A and B are shown apart, each in its own frame.
Chain A
Amino acid sequence: MLVAERRMATIDYDLELKRAGANATGGWRRVLFLARRHVLGAAGLIIMTVFVFTAIFANVLARFDPLTVDAAHALARPSAAHWMGTDSFGRDVFSRIIHGARISLAVGLGSTALGGTIGVIVGLTSGYLSGWFDLVFQRVSDILQALPLLVLALVMTAALGPSLPNVIIAIAIPLIPTVARVIRANTLALREQPFVEAAKSIGMSEVRIAVRHVLPNTLAPLIVLATAQLGSTILTEASLSFLGLGIPEPYPSWGRMLSESAAEYVRTAPWLVIFPGIAISLAVFGTNLFGDALRDILDPRQRG
Chain B
Amino acid sequence: MFAYLVRRLFLMLVTLFGISIVIFFLLRIVPGNIVDILFAAAGYVDPADKANLEKELGIDQPLVVQYVHWIGGFLRGDFGYSYVSEKPALQEILPRIPITARLAGLALLFSASIGIPLGVISAVKQGTKLDYALRVVSLSGLSLPSFWLGLLILTASVAMFGQMPIFNPNPQTWLEAFATYAVPAAAVGFRSAALTMRITRSSMLEVLRQDYIRTARAKGASDAAVNYHHALKNAILPVITVIGIEAAFLIGGLIVTETVFNIPGVARFLVEAIRWRDYPIVQNLVMFIAVVVVFANFTVDMLYAVFDPRIRFTE
**Is chain B a partner of chain A in the same complex?**
yes
Q: Cβ of A302 and Cβ of B202 under 8 Å apart?
A: yes
Residue of A nearest to B296 (CB): A146
Q: Which A residues touch B159, using CB under 8 A? A: 267
Binds B, one of A12-20, A54-62, A70-78, A238-246: A238-246
Chain A residues whose CB sits within 8 angstroms of the CB of B311 once the complex forms: 2-3
Stretch at the interface among A119-127, A135-143, A192-200: A135-143
Classify the secondary structure of B's interface with A. helix
Whether A285 lies near B139 (C-beta < 8 A) is: yes
B101: interface (CB < 8 Å): no
Which of chain B's residues have a CB closer than 8 A to the CB of A231? Answer: 142-143
- Select A146's contact among B29, B259, B294, beta carbons within 8 Å: B294
Stretch from A27-35, A90-98, A155-163, A201-209 forming part of the interface with B: A155-163
Interface pick from A81-89, A110-118, A214-222, A273-281: A273-281
SS class, residues of chain A in contact with chain B: helix
Known contacts A151-B270, A284-B143; A159/B30 CB under 8 A: yes
A148→B290 CA distance, assembly (Å): 8
* CA of A232 to CA of B139, assembled, Å: 12
CB distance from B194 to the nearest CB of A (A): 10
Chain B: CB-nearest residue to A274: B152
Quick one: given A40-B135, A158-B274, are A281 and B140 in contact (CB under 8 Å)?
yes
| Contact digits for B126-169, partner A, Cβ 8 Å, 1 yes 0 no | 11000110011001101111111001101100010000000000
A149 in contact with B142 (CB, 8 Å):
no
Q: Using a Cβ–Cβ cut-off of 8 Å, how many residues does chain B contribute to the interface with A?
A: 61
Task: Report A177 CB to chain B, min CB distance, Å.
Answer: 12
Known contacts A1-B315, A280-B148, A302 near B206 by CB under 8 Å: yes
User: Is the CB of B37 closer than 8 A to any CB of chain A?
Assistant: no
Asked if B256 is at the interface of the complex by the 8 Å CB criterion, the answer is: yes
Query: What is the distance, in angstroms, from B121's C-beta to the closest C-beta of chain A?
Result: 13
The answer for the CA separation of A142 and B18 in the assembled complex, in Å, is 9
Residues of B with C-beta under 8 A to A156: 26
Shortest CB distance B200–A (Å): 12
Closest to A232 in B: B142
Q: In the bound complex, what is the Cα–Cα distance between A30 and B19 (angstroms)?
A: 49
A109 interfacial contact with B, CB 8 Å: no
Does A294 make an interface contact (CB < 8 A)? no
The one of B19, B132, B202, B293 in contact with A40, judged by C-beta atoms closer than 8 angstroms, is B132
Given contacts A149-B252, A155-B274, A288-B142, are A281 and B29 in contact (CB under 8 A)?
Answer: no
Are B249 and A149 neighbours in the complex by a CB distance under 8 Å? yes
A/B pair count, beta carbons within 8 Å: 149
Query: A247 CB to closest chain B CB, in angstroms?
Result: 15
On whether the beta carbons of A148 and B289 are closer than 8 Å, the reply is yes
Q: Kindly identify which residue among A142, A273, A288 contacts B139, using a CB–CB cutoff of 8 Å.
A: A288
Say yes or no: A148 contacts B248, CB within 8 Å. Answer: yes
Closest chain A CB from B259 CB (angstroms): 7
- Residue from the list B151, B154, B286 in contact with A151, Cβ < 8 A: B286
Give 1 or 0 for each of B240-270: 1 = CB within 8 Å of chain A CB.
Answer: 0000000011011101100100000000001
CB distance from B252 to the nearest CB of A (A): 3
Whole-angstrom distance between the alpha carbons of A148 and B297 in the complex? Answer: 13
Q: Which residues of A contact B274 (CB under 8 A)?
A: 154-155, 158
Expressed in whole angstroms, the minimum distance between the Cβ of A258 and any Cβ of chain B is 6
- Assembled-state Cα–Cα distance A150/B191 (Å): 15
Q: Which residues, 273 to 315 on B, are CB-close (under 8 Å) to A?
A: 274, 286, 289-290, 293-294, 297, 304, 310-312, 315
Q: Write out the residue numbers on chain B whose beta carbons fall within 8 Å of the beta carbon of A140.
A: 18
Determine whether B14 belongs to the interface, using a CB cutoff of 8 Å to chain A: yes
Contacts of A232 in B (CB 8 A): 142
B15 contact from A146, A238, A266, Cβ within 8 A: A146
Return A216 CB to nearest CB of chain B, in Å: 25
Contact of B145 among A2, A277, A288 (CB under 8 A): A277
Q: Complex: how many Å from CA A39 to CA B132? A: 10
Q: B210: shortest Cβ distance to chain A, in Å?
A: 12
> Which residue of the partner chain, among B30, B139, B248, B249, contacts A158 with CB atoms under 8 Å?
B30
Kindly state the separation between the CA atoms of A150 and B304 in the bound complex, as whole angstroms: 27
**What 1/0 mask marks residues of chain B from 195 to 234 whose CB sits below 8 Å from any chain A CB?**
0000001100110000000000000000000000000000
Contacts of B312 in A (CB 8 A): 3
Q: Are A258 and B290 in contact (CB under 8 A)?
A: no
Q: How far is the CA of A281 from the CA of B191 in the complex (A)?
A: 12
Residue contacts A-B, CB under 8 angstroms, 10 given: A2-B304, A39-B132, A140-B18, A148-B252, A159-B31, A235-B143, A236-B252, A242-B259, A266-B154, A302-B202
Q: Which 4 A-B pairs have the closest CB atoms?
A: A150-B252, A148-B251, A285-B143, A284-B143
5 extra A-B contacts, CB within 8 A, seeds A151-B255, A232-B142, A273-B151: A147-B286, A148-B249, A148-B293, A154-B271, A288-B143
A residues with CB within 8 A of B: 1-4, 39-40, 139-140, 142-143, 145-151, 154-156, 158-159, 161, 231-232, 235-236, 238-239, 242-243, 255, 258, 263, 266-267, 270, 273, 277, 280-282, 284-285, 288-289, 292, 301-304
